[in-house]
A = this chain, B = another copy of it.
């Protein structure tokens, strides 16, 4: 293909044929005839997971029972998975554990960060975050603030720098925004926060396994992230937590359970935290789900000889560039906007399209009625969402993306069609097919069918 002509299906197939990561797709079991662009919500099934989980259930649990704490090394599984993940987020050995949920881990590190920051400077009474941060992060911060009499200050991305004042204890950000796919400059923001005496907590839910992350290089303080998105760890897979070694032994976190004890099997009545990251463990972990997460991490091991994260990042950007270009050139005139930054250094591994769902929005082109897109759904007052119906129509065509209602950074009526591109298993022909289906859905107006407008879906 050339820089000037729109890429064709044949061009995309040629790109796949020359993709050095193409073989990685064989490490997954994908549903047939599906273009799965929702790996940023739930990653796909590693081909090895079924056998691995079956072995954990039948042999480790069923036959070896309690002995598997030693023989199957359940006892250090959170640390072993953490070590396996570490190089993908710029962390060292012994600095990461896979455990609990992202929300619970955020509570731990945010508590620890507040304990450190406020011991050094009790007048720091604020947590700063982004208004369009993932809601559970804001809820956890809200709960901590309520408990400790602190204030959660929410700002727009462009106002973060100005918000780093002397009364702020912690800056808590998600590296890649879950709605827009916009990526922060972790090193620059961390440096600005440190210059103001503020600690940083980074949520890597949409970064780990998806984009280059260098926690140590950026000098970040704390990080948490998700096991079931780009890491392909399975539904609700345990999350992870990282603490910069300079903080690891200094402070405590309140979820001080037995698995974070220095000698967990001594069963002493008083809590003595384990050295380093071990103290961020709490209770007994779900071993079956943890074992599935290991299969997801194993695929990343297989990506190392094929070029590792630089190769994954190059392919991810090529996929999202292609998607943006094809949407703009082949789906032009339907009112779609782009929420994801065009600049590579500001983009994660997803593309978010916007659609105005207000009653005054201009009509979509094609077979749409003249009274506007929202009105076409038969809902007065602009409550209808064309974007939702389009996503449902795409799902019926086995192109799986998801929908996020308009609010936060994109405004109340700017709904989001969200498409994640996991370079481990998505190919360029997938991108072409996804856009072709989107074009057909828009041109035909099939999204107006009643079955695509029932808001019972969880995606």
Contacts and interface: CB of A to CB of B under 8 A. Distances in A.
Contacts of A103: 255, 257-259, 282-284
Given A50-B62, A139-B270, 18 more contacts: A31-B62, A31-B63, A36-B65, A42-B66, A56-B235, A60-B235, A104-B257, A104-B282, A104-B283, A107-B255, A135-B268, A136-B259, A138-B271, A139-B256, A139-B257, A139-B258, A236-B290, A268-B407
Interface of A: 29, 31, 36, 38, 41-42, 44-45, 49-50, 53-54, 56-58, 60-70, 74-75, 100-104, 107, 111, 131-136, 138-140, 142-144, 146-147, 154, 228, 234-239, 252-259, 261, 265-271, 282-290, 292, 395, 400, 402, 404-405, 407-408, 456-459
Contacts of A146: 252, 254
B287 A234 contact: yes
A252 B107 CA distance: 15
A236 B57 CA distance: 12
A459 B404 CA distance: 47
A273 to B, nearest CB: 9
A44 B239 CA distance: 26
Contacts of A253: 143
Contacts of A36: 65
B65 A44 contact: yes
B74 A235 contact: yes
A107 B269 contact: no
Contacts of A135: 258, 261, 267-269, 271
Contacts of A45: 57-58, 61-62
B41 A257 contact: no
**How many copies of this chain?**
2
B138 A269 contact: yes
B139 A261 contact: yes
Contacts of A256: 139-140, 142-143
Closest 9 A/B residue pairs (Cβ) = A101-B283, A103-B257, A103-B283, A286-B289, A136-B258, A45-B62, A235-B287, A143-B256, A139-B271
Contacts of A54: 50, 53-54
8 contacts: A42-B66, A44-B65, A67-B400, A103-B283, A139-B271, A266-B405, A267-B404, A267-B407
Contacts of A104: 100, 104, 255, 257, 282-283
Contacts of A254: 107, 143-144, 146-147
A138 B267 CA distance: 10
B44 A49 contact: no
A230 B140 CA distance: 32
